[in-house]
């Protein structure tokens, strides 16, 4: 089967970059990305490539090459479904905020809506590819919706989870460690669909890196990969608090254990905690599935990874308060960074907002600088926390208590303390002497990412705190 027309439903952090890279590598395949969010599609079509809705290094170059040639962004979902041979579902699957499974299970309403839309519109056979991260056995739910349309149209359902990390998405997609394709390889049409998708990736990914499995293994592998990665971060963060009490240095410990080939050096960077749209959501979903299957010990094991992460974020905030003489009331704290990691404008589950909430509860005033995150988004994050009762200030007070600055030096001027929340490279090159001169004394700096040269800062006169030192 030769595929020459692909549609992706969902133009977010995964749908946009993933399809842009497919379009770049397969100029003969028409790739259409659709979304219900009109503004998002308008932003993907913006002639100024600095206005794309997703910031990723290298992304605008890929979009510039393919957009209008074989890559299209549109709100006409019906037309895109009709003309595609292969449809990727790449909509969001957030943690449920209501009803059964609230706070734990993945909310599949958007996936279900898309499946029903495909069932309603499709007039010819399609391969439907789950790109969203989904609980094990979701393909079965999609299949039951698609198999009962009565239209005679036949669907093959594949699982093709995405492993890209934000901030390195383009590189991760272009040079994937592996591509996972789950399908029904015991039937001829199932095998044919898997081969068709493998052939697309095979244009730029070496064949031995394209793994074919059954659908359930593929779905579970995605949750497991994120759980393992997050577990490494929580493990080193757990050790970081022990280091602070014993005089060990967490970066030295990480280097020492990471030198063991069996452990490896990556994902051992102690931090203020992990954020992002995936780790917490996917682990909670795994925990929920285990509980539903009466695997309580397994559920508790994984839940601890999230609890350790919450502890790490709160510990960082408590440290700021206690070192500033047990209160930050009326004090100005500068935040360097708001994104959940460097090189992205994504702020979902960013540790920065939880640290901010703890400090605002203690009546601090926060001035934030982030090179890629807008004021609108920062206020949106904090308003969400207020709506979820995780922050107890009057929303009307937000503009007084939280200022978003366009320049880092403005955020730090007259501050009592600086907290580094994101590991943006540019922070390392600032004129720290000038920043120190403009601050209240004693001037405190809390490096939640261990990126600054702490000896230089100490020599200038800063009171310093690093994670796990």
Where in the sequence numbering do the catalytic residues fall? 162, 222, 278
Select from 344, 370, 324 the least CA-distant residue to 465: 324
261-280 binders of ligand NAD (CB under 6 A): 277-278
H or E element that contains 71:
strand 71-74
Residue 340 sits in the site that holds ligand UDX (CB under 6 A):
yes
**Which residue's CB is nearer to ligand UDX, number 117 or number 372?**
372
- Closest-approach residue to ligand NAD (CB): 12
Phi, psi of 449 (to 5 degrees): -130, 0
Q: Is the dihedral of CA 245, 264, 301, 162 positive or negative?
A: positive
For ligand UDX (CB under 6 A), the number of binding residues is 19
Q: Which does 223 bind (CB under 5 to 8 A by kind): ligand UDX, ligand NAD, none?
A: none
**Contact residue for ligand NAD among 107, 166, 423, 447 (CB under 6 A):** 166
The structure tokens 């600088």 sit at 369
> Which own/partner pairs from 403-408 qualify as long-range (CB within 8 Å, at least 24 positions apart)?
403/365, 403/366, 403/367, 403/368, 404/367, 404/368, 404/369, 404/374, 404/375, 404/378, 404/379, 405/367, 405/368, 405/369, 406/369, 407/369, 408/336, 408/369, 408/435
Could you tell me the smallest distance in angstroms from the CB atom of residue 115 to ligand UDX?
22
Could you tell me the smallest distance in angstroms from the CB atom of residue 215 to ligand NAD?
16
Choose the stretch contacting ligand UDX; rule: CB under 6 A; options: 161-169, 192-200, 255-263, 409-417: 161-169
**Which residue's CB is nearer to ligand NAD, number 213 or number 464?**
213
Q: Which does 269 bind (CB under 5 to 8 A by kind): ligand NAD, ligand UDX, none?
A: ligand UDX
* Cα 6 from Cα 3, distance rounded (Å): 8
**Contact residue for ligand NAD among 110, 204, 301, 409 (CB under 6 A):** 110
Residue 199 sits in the site that holds ligand UDX (CB under 6 A):
no
Taking a C-beta distance cutoff of 8 angstroms, is the pair 281, 348 a contact?
no
Question: Alpha-carbon dihedral of residues 32, 18, 93, 398, nearest 10 degrees?
Answer: -100
**Contact residue for ligand UDX among 210, 268, 412, 417 (CB under 6 A):** 268
Select from 125, 129, 121 the least CA-distant residue to 10: 129
Q: Which does 233 bind (CB under 5 to 8 A by kind): ligand UDX, ligand NAD, none?
A: ligand UDX
Could you tell me the smallest distance in angstroms from the CB atom of residue 96 to ligand NAD?
13
Phi, psi of 273 (to 5 degrees): 130, 155
Tell me how far CA of residue 78 lies from CA of 14, 32, 128, 411, in angstroms: 21, 12, 15, 47
Taking a C-beta distance cutoff of 8 angstroms, is the pair 172, 165 a contact?
yes
β 210-213/126-130 pair status: unpaired
Residue 190 sits in the site that holds ligand UDX (CB under 6 A):
no
**Which residue's CB is nearer to ligand UDX, number 65 or number 310?**
310
Residue 163 sits in the site that holds ligand UDX (CB under 6 A):
yes
Distance of CA 81 to the CA centre of its chain: 27
User: Secondary structure of the chain: what % helix, strand, coil (to 5)?
Assistant: 45, 15, 40
Q: Is the dihedral of CA 243, 281, 214, 212 positive or negative?
A: negative
**Contact residue for ligand UDX among 23, 278, 321, 328 (CB under 6 A):** 278
* Cα 74 from Cα 177, distance rounded (Å): 31
Could you tell me the smallest distance in angstroms from the CB atom of residue 189 to ligand UDX?
29
**Contact residue for ligand UDX among 204, 267, 301, 311 (CB under 6 A):** 267
214-253 binders of ligand UDX (CB under 6 A): 226, 229, 233
The DSSP letter of residue 34 is E
Q: Which two tokens stand for residue 195?
A: 């081969």
Could you tell me the smallest distance in angstroms from the CB atom of residue 266 to ligand UDX?
7
Q: Which does 226 bind (CB under 5 to 8 A by kind): ligand UDX, ligand NAD, none?
A: ligand UDX
Residue 11 sits in the site that holds ligand NAD (CB under 6 A):
yes
Could you tell me the smallest distance in angstroms from the CB atom of residue 274 to ligand UDX?
3
**Which residue's CB is nearer to ligand NAD, number 138 or number 466?**
138
Residue 164 sits in the site that holds ligand UDX (CB under 6 A):
yes
Q: Which two tokens stand for residue 388?
A: 């979820």
Could you tell me the smallest distance in angstroms from the CB atom of residue 341 to ligand UDX?
4
Burial grade of 31 (CB within 10 A; 0-12, 13-18, 19 or more): buried
Q: Which does 274 bind (CB under 5 to 8 A by kind): ligand UDX, ligand NAD, none?
A: ligand UDX
385-444 binders of ligand NAD (CB under 6 A): none
The DSSP letter of residue 95 is B
Could you tell me the smallest distance in angstroms from the CB atom of residue 52 to ligand NAD?
13
List interacting residues with ligand NAD (CB under 6 A): 9-15, 35-37, 40, 77, 90-93, 110, 113-114, 132-133, 162, 164, 166, 277-278
Contact residues for ligand UDX, defined by CB under 6 A: 162-166, 226, 229, 233, 267-269, 271, 274-276, 278-279, 340-341
């Amino acid at each position: 089967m030769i595929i020459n027309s692909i549609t992706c439903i969902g133009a977010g952090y995964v749908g946009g970059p993933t399809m842009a890279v497919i379009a770049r590598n397969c100029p003969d395949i028409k790739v259409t990305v659709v979304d219900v969010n009109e503004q998002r599609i308008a932003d993907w079509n913006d002639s100024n490539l600095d206005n794309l809705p997703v910031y990723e290094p290298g992304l605008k170059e890929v979009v510039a090459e393919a957009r209008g040639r074989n890559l299209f962004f549109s709100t006409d979902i019906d037309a895109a479904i009709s003309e595609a041979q292969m449809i990727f579902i790449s909509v969001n699957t957030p943690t449920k905020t209501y009803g059964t499974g609230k706070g734990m299970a993945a909310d599949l309403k958007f996936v279900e809506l898309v499946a029903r839309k495909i069932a309603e519109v499709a007039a010819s056979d399609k391969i439907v590819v789950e790109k969203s991260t989904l609980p094990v056995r979701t393909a079965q739910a999609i299949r039951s919706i698609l198999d009962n349309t009565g239209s005679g149209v036949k669907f093959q359902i594949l699982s093709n989870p995405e492993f890209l990390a934000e901030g390195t998405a383009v590189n991760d997609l272009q040079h994937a460690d592996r591509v996972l394709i789950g399908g029904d390889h015991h039937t001829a049409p199932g095998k044919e669909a898997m081969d068709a998708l493998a052939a697309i990736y095979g244009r730029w990914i070496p064949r031995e890196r394209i793994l074919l499995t059954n659908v359930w293994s593929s779905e579970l592998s995605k949750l497991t990969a994120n759980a393992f990665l997050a577990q490494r971060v929580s493990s080193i963060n757990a050790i970081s608090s022990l280091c602070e009490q014993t005089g060990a240095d967490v970066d030295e410990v990480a280097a020492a254990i990471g030198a063991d080939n069996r452990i490896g050096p990556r994902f051992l960077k102690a931090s203020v905690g992990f954020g992002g749209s995936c780790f917490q959501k996917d682990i909670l979903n795994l925990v929920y599935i285990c509980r539903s299957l009466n695997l309580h010990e397994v559920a508790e094991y994984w839940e601890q990874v999230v609890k350790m992460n919450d502890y790490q974020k709160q510990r960082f905030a408590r440290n700021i308060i206690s070192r500033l003489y047990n209160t930050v009331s009326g004090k100005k704290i500068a935040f360097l960074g708001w994104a959940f990691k460097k090189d992205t404008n994504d702020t979902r589950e960013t540790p920065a907002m939880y640290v901010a909430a703890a400090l605002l509860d203690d009546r601090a005033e926060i001035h934030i600088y982030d090179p890629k995150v807008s004021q609108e988004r920062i206020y949106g994050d904090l308003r969400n926390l207020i709506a979820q009762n995780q922050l107890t200030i009057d929303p009307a007070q937000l503009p007084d208590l939280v200022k978003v600055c366009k320049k880092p030096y403005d955020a730090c001027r007259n501050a009592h303390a600086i907290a580094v929340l994101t590991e943006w490279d540019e922070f390392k090159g600032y004129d720290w002497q000038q920043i120190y001169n403009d601050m209240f004394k004693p001037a405190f700096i809390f490096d939640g990412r261990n990126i600054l040269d702490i000896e230089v800062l100490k020599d200038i006169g800063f009171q310093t705190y690093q994670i796990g030192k």
